[in-house]
Structure 1
Amino acid sequence: MNIIKKISGIVAIITLISTSTLANGNSTAESQSVKKARIAVESAPAYDWKTLAESAKICFEKNQNTEQALEWINKSISLEKDPMNLEILADYYVSNGETDKGIEKLVEAIDAGRAQNFWFDSSKIQAKIWKLR
């Protein structure tokens, strides 16, 4: 009977730890997102800059696999300079305390957007720049 109580207690503790880990957004849930991002990149065509950027963003947000994500975002930008991937890289720089680099990339994002479309709405990016200054 004592052994059953001990086992029940251990199971309860393990359940509590795994539940609180998932609730805090750590461990399994994040790892699954990062795994899915990696699979997306591996199965995407070599020219698919958008999948690279979106996958890098997931890793940066989860703060996992950031070294590889940095490679992905740089490759994405080399394939297609787009406001989306430049903004993702800017957010990465800012989150790592490199505000000047982040602002530089945000300005590049505005320029890239205007090069693609004269009527590009840069208000969201401009607001980020003002907030960082």
Structure 2
Amino acid sequence: MKAITKTLTLALVAIFVSISAFANVKVDKTTEKARQAVNSASPDDWHTYAISAEKCIKKNVNLKEASEWIKKSVEIKETSYNLKVLGDYYAKNKLPQKAVEAYSKSIRLGKMEDSNYTDKATQDKIVKLVKQLG
């Protein structure tokens, strides 16, 4: 009987410690603001999803949600901007082939929308990744 009581007591203590540990988890400001923006965005607001994802990717926080947001943005509407952010996400997560594909598609879309479109920064990212791939 003492063993059962001791086991139950230890289990309850473990539960309370776990609950209090999760209750005190602080969310960084970038994640907090990005979540607020996404939660108040309309379902077809691809731009807010992309901006929120980009901020998290740049700060290297909340990458799981950022992944969901940028993929949703691209699903709503493929644009040069959100494909570039998707490429940044892939590059950050060491997926160079996918990053090159997203960046390349970003540049193609930009050129289709405006024949004078240039994006040297994205071109430089592609060159760097291609060199890594060998």
| TM-score, reference length from structure 2 | 0.72
Aligned to 2:126: 129
Aligned to 2:117: 120
Equivalent pairs, count: 106
Q: Secondary structure at the match of 2:78?
A: coil
Max radius of gyration: which structure? 2
| TM-score, reference length from structure 1 | 0.73
| C-alpha separation in 2, matches of 1:122 and 1:75 | 23
Paired-residue identity, %: 37
Does 2:67 match 1:77? Answer: no
Post-superposition, which runs of at least 4 consecutive aligned residues in structure 1 deviate over 4 A?
none
Equivalent residues in 2 for 1:1-133, closer than 5 Å: 31-133=28-130
* Pairwise CA distance, 1:87: 0.9
| C-alpha separation in 2, matches of 1:124 and 1:33 | 24
**For structure 2, which runs of at least 5 residues remain unmatched after alignment?**
1-24
Between stretches 79-88 and 115-124, larger displacement belongs to 115-124
**For structure 1, which runs of at least 5 residues remain unmatched after alignment?**
1-26
| CA-atom RMSD in angstroms | 1.7
